[in-house]
Amino acid sequence: MAKHGDRVKIVTADETIEGTLMPEEKDSVVLKLDTGYNIGIDKKRVREISVVKEYKEKKLEMPKEESKKGLPTIAILHTGGTIASKVDYETGGTVARFTPEELLVMFPELKDIANIRSRLIRNMFSEDMRFAHYNLMAHEVEKEIKQGADGVIITHGTDTLHYSAAALSFMLNNLGVPVILVGAQRSSDRGSSDAGLNLLSAAFFITHSKDFAEVAICMHEGLDDDACVILPGTKSRKMHSSRRDAFQAISVPPWARVDIKEKKVDLLRTGYRKRAKTSVMVRQFKEDLKIGLLKVHTNMYATEFEAYKGYDGLILEATGMGHLPINEIDELTKEHTKIAEAIKKLVASGTITTATTQTISGGIDMNVYSTGRKMQELGIIGNYTDMTPETAFIKLAWLLSNAPKDKVKELYATNLVGEISERLEKIEPKKFK
């Protein structure tokens, strides 16, 4: 019986086609031709598949892992396979490479930057992350630091990478080394992949930034392979679904710019936590917390808010400087009175309810318009904060996991790890063309 990677001959009523058998799709047999292109053949048309030559997996020649004196040690923890994977074009399958030896085959430049130790802690899509996975990551980082790592890189799917960066920023207390999250928008087998530059830049930054000890993100600065930027863990966001430069710092500049071709690191601002010989401590999430994130829009109904009854917390991604549809101004807005009442009951029931802005940049000011003042009367908190909705979600969950409930409201409005700007800086947004 033919298997993926075998060279096969497929006979249909019209023709005979020879090529490499790829993983099949729902209704098609997929064949890679000698030209390099794939074709799909309707299964109903296939009369016969015969094996011309069986596939034999090639053994990857591994270099010996040897520690170099004088080089720092970086631990690389993998939570997803894209950045450390390649497509095997003989089988069509993805081959994940996680050991130090395998990484050095893929990215040989690493051996000149640091001594690498690497292992898989999960292999998952980032959209499947839960609070329990943040706890897992934090404890694995703690373990590596206690074993002497000079820095830690976490490879991670890009869709929720900024959530994890924010979570680790709050969780890793007394952090004395850099922890850099790295993703890839394009898989490693593609010529346009950003995987190599992102990973190498993160490693180079750890070894050349000297005194930086924050949780941060390292991703492409632009479309070209010129440089990467080091982005703050609590002030960053994925702003494009597929571009290599999708990640941006929000309301603040990046921490640094890394150009590994020129072998230089340019610090763009100060105020970061400094390296030190400290005993890192993990303050983890309660894994059964229920935190909601509701995007405010026109034509809302009270039932949308009532759905969060029984939740521990709710983030309202409000409009503008923090506004909700709670004003009954005519016969067409009677539902807004019901919305206000629903929020009032939600707050009274113990659900801590906060406002953030869906404009992404800028902050909440509920003292400018009457709507904002009415929101405060309903018990909504978050005034004068400028957290992204994702960071607000993470912070509220972490506070409810680690602080007395009567202190959560006060701490939510307090800048703890750089999530709230001391002053709002004017940052020109990236223009996507």
What's the rounded Cα separation, in Å, for the pair 320 and 333?
Answer: 20
pLDDT confidence of residue 427: 42
Contact 414, 422 (CB under 8 A): no
Which stretches of the chain score pLDDT less than 50? Answer: 425-429, 432-433
**Distance between CA atoms of residues 341 and 322, nearest Å:** 18
Residues noted as catalytic: 82, 158-159, 238
C-alpha closest to that of 364 among 381, 347, 352:
381
The per-residue pLDDT for 72 is 96
Residue range 282-316, pLDDT digits in tens: 999 999 999 999 999 999 999 999 999 999 999 99
- The residue assigned the tokens 């080394």 is 177
- Residues contacting residue 91 through CB under 8 Å, at least 6 positions apart: 4, 5, 22, 23, 55
Question: Is the distance from CB of 84 to CB of 98 less than 8 angstroms?
Answer: yes
Angstrom distance (rounded) from CA 86 to CA 195 = 11
3-class DSSP assignment, residue 312: coil
Distance between CA atoms of 158 and 238, rounded to whole angstroms?
A: 8
Tokens 């960071």 correspond to 391
Helix, strand or coil for residue 260? coil
Integer Cα distance of 272 and 101 in angstroms: 33
Give the Cβ contact number of residue 300 at 10 Å.
18
- Please state, in angstroms and rounded to a whole number, the distance separating the CA atoms of residues 168 and 164: 6
Cβ-based neighbours of 317, under 8 Å, separated by 6 or more: 293, 294, 295, 296, 356, 357, 358, 389
Kindly state the tokens that stand for 418: 């750089």
**Taking a C-beta distance cutoff of 8 angstroms, is the pair 218, 155 a contact?**
no
How many residues appear in the chain? 433
Contact 380, 340 (CB under 8 A): no
**Structural domains in the chain plus CATH codes:** 7-53 (2.30.30.520), 73-282 (3.40.50.1170), 291-412 (3.40.50.40)
What is the DSSP code string of 38-64? Answer: EEEEEGGGEEEEEEEE---PPPPPPPP
Cβ–Cβ under 8 Å, residues 333 and 301? no
Instruction: Count CA atoms within 13 Å of residue 348 on its CB side.
Output: 9
CA distances to 46, 149, 156, 220 from 264, rounded to whole Å, are 57, 22, 25, 15
Distance between CA atoms of residues 67 and 52, nearest Å: 45
pLDDT at 127: 93
Q: Which residue has the tokens 């908190």?
A: 381
Residues 332, 324: Cα–Cα separation, whole Å: 16
What is the rounded distance in angstroms from the CA atom of residue 73 to the CA atom of residue 113? Answer: 9
Residue 426 pLDDT? 43
Cβ atoms of 395 and 403 within 8 Å: the answer is: no
* Cβ–Cβ < 8 Å for 202, 218: yes
Cα separation, 150 vs 103, whole angstroms: 18
**Contact call for residues 378 and 339 (beta carbons, < 8 A):** no
Q: What are the residue ranges of helices labelled H in 13-146? A: 100-106, 110-113, 131-146
| Measured distance CA(40)–CA(169) in Å, rounded | 47
- DSSP H stretches of helix in 318-362: 334-348
First-to-final CA distance of the chain: 50
Largest CA distance in the chain: 77
Amino acid at 140: E
